[in-house]
């Protein structure tokens, strides 16, 4: 077994059992205790495990500086070895795998929001009526949603070495997210979004700088293997560098993990990913751009869904705000009606829907059932202020029950 494979296997066992002994590892892997200690020390240096007397403990939440060693082989070679049936790789352990697990590769941004009476003119300075600084990024928001929706979530993202990196770590540590890894880079700052909200008409202006989110490496994706191998669903968006997104999709396909792609913010790069995705979840705008068909109603949404399937999609769910969602699975269309809601903040509605959809699918629900659950979850999310402020599973079940009455 290759060194990297052995360490991935150790992480997979630790992920299941929380702690593990040197003696057990040496016997199971048929290597010396010195080799095991070397492996555990290397994993501890990377912040993945905590050494203890006679063994190690898994570290569920960590922020890793660039200690990761460069891969000794290309990512494609790693995938090829994993496809080889003679090669041992992380596997799903029947009866031991945690049910309902979602893995999310995505962005973390710091949202800086300023409320202004009106938008400033060129060269003009305005006094803001108020401002807030909070967590954001589609990946982080969707991880929060999936956690609140009842899934066991592992979230992977990348931040800078600036003051906002600690803000990201503290926010995620205080959340219900089961485990996460934040990689760090000193090449780019933590991603950020500058948002002006006009009090005249409620319109907003947003400038996003992806920063560290666009610097995820092949080696960092390869390290995701043990967590992804134990997951039911992978959820991704388009706020990371496309090379990282494409590699994690290939990895998920190799491991037999179901993939949801939320193609936001829209980029033509999504076309290179179509053959690795099980479920596409564009909103009206993204579906229009992807299909070339302007969506104005349910009929045009059906035309757009058919066009997206022709591009290689297996299943499409087009979210349409107050009009609900349209599901097309290559066999039939199904309209998922929206749940009535008293909207306060619709900023994170799409993230709420996608996170809840992933959680419901990981729980074993059908696509139609999961889309209905996600619609109810999103209807509760828009009644809260803040894109990362998500409802709980019990509230969703209550809203679902109310519709049945």
141 is in an annotated binding site: yes
Cβ(100)–Cβ(359) below 8 Å: yes
Q: Give all strands of the β-sheet with 55-58 in edge-to-edge order.
A: 19-21, 55-58, 49-52
- Whole-number Å distance between alpha carbons of 98 and 101: 7
110 is in an annotated binding site: yes
Run of H or E residues at 24: helix 22-29
- The burial of 201, by beta-carbon neighbours within 10 Å (0-12 exposed, 13-18 middle, 19 or more buried), is given as exposed
Using CA atoms, how far residue 257 sits from 91, 222, 400, in Å, is 11, 15, 28
Cβ(238)–Cβ(245) below 8 Å: yes
348 is in an annotated binding site: no
Cβ(101)–Cβ(152) below 8 Å: yes
62 is in an annotated binding site: no
345 is in an annotated binding site: yes
137 is in an annotated binding site: yes
372 is in an annotated binding site: no
305 is in an annotated binding site: no
Q: Quote the Cα angle for 357-13-276, to 5°.
A: 40
160 is in an annotated binding site: no
Contacts of 195 (CB under 8 A, 6+ apart): 111, 112, 113, 114, 204, 205, 206
Structure tokens at 380: 């509760």
347 is in an annotated binding site: yes
212 is in an annotated binding site: no
- Whole-number Å distance between alpha carbons of 213 and 73: 24
321 is in an annotated binding site: yes
What phi, psi does 299 have (nearest 5°)?
-65, -45
386 is in an annotated binding site: yes
Run of H or E residues at 83: helix 75-83
140 is in an annotated binding site: yes
- Whole-number Å distance between alpha carbons of 13 and 178: 17
What phi, psi does 302 have (nearest 5°)?
-65, -40
Cis peptide preceding 44, ω within 30 of 0 = no
Structure tokens at 289: 């751009």
323 is in an annotated binding site: yes
384 is in an annotated binding site: yes
Residue 278 annotated to the active site = no
99 is in an annotated binding site: no
Nearest CA to 178 among 137, 222, 225, 143? 143
184 is in an annotated binding site: no
Cβ(300)–Cβ(322) below 8 Å: no
The active-site residue out of 232, 278, 351, 363 is: 351
Classified as helix, coil or strand, 136 is: strand
322 is in an annotated binding site: yes
Distance between terminal CA atoms of the chain? 58
Annotated binding-site residues for K(+) read 345, 347, 381, 384, 386
Annotated binding-site residues for ATP read 283, 319-324, 350-351
Annotated binding-site residues read 109-111, 137-141, 239, 283, 319-324, 345, 347, 350-351, 381, 384, 386
User: Could you list the active site residues?
Assistant: 351
Annotated binding-site residues for substrate read 109-111, 137-141, 239, 351
């Amino acid at each position: 077994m290759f060194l990297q494979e052995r360490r991935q296997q150790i992480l997979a066992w630790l992920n299941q059992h929380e702690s593990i002994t040197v003696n057990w590892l040496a016997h199971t892997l048929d290597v010396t205790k010195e080799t095991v200690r070397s492996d555990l020390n290397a994993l501890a240096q990377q912040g993945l495990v905590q050494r203890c007397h006679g063994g190690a403990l898994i570290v569920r939440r960590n922020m890793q500086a660039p200690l990761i060693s460069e891969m000794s082989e290309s990512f494609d070679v790693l995938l090829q070895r994993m496809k080889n049936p003679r090669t041992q790789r992380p596997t799903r352990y029947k009866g031991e795998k945690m049910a309902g697990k979602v893995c999310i590769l995505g962005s973390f941004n710091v949202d800086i929001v300023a409320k202004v009476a009106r938008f400033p003119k060129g060269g003009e300075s305005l006094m803001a009526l108020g401002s807030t600084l909070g967590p954001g990024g589609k990946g982080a928001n969707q991880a929060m949603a999936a956690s609140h929706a009842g899934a066991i979530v592992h979230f992977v993202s990348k931040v800078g070495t600036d003051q906002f990196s600690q803000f990201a770590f503290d926010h995620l540590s205080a959340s219900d997210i089961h485990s996460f890894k934040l990689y760090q880079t000193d090449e780019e700052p933590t991603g950020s979004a500058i948002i002006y909200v006009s009090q005249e008409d409620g319109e907003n202006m947003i400038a996003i700088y992806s920063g560290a989110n666009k610097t995820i490496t092949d080696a960092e994706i390869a390290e995701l293997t043990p967590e992804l191998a134990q997951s039911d669903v992978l959820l991704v968006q388009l706020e990371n560098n496309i090379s990282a997104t494409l590699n994690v999709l290939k990895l998920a396909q190799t491991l037999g993990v179901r993939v949801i792609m939320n193609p936001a913010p829209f980029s033509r790069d999504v076309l290179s990913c179509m053959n690795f995705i099980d479920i596409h979840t564009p909103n009206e705008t993204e579906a229009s751009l992807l299909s070339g068909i302007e969506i104005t109603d349910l009929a045009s949404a059906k035309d757009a869904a058919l066009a997206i399937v022709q591009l290689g999609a297996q299943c499409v769910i087009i979210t349409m705000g107050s009009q609900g969602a349209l599901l097309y699975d290559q066999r039939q269309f199904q309209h998922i009606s929206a749940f009535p809601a008293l909207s306060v903040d619709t900023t994170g509605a799409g993230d709420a829907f996608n996170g809840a959809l992933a959680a419901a699918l990981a729980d074993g629900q059908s696509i139609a059932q999961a889309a209905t659950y996600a619609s109810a979850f999103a209807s509760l999310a828009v009644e809260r202020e803040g894109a990362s402020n998500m409802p709980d599973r019990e509230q969703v079940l209550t809203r679902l029950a109310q519709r049945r009455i």
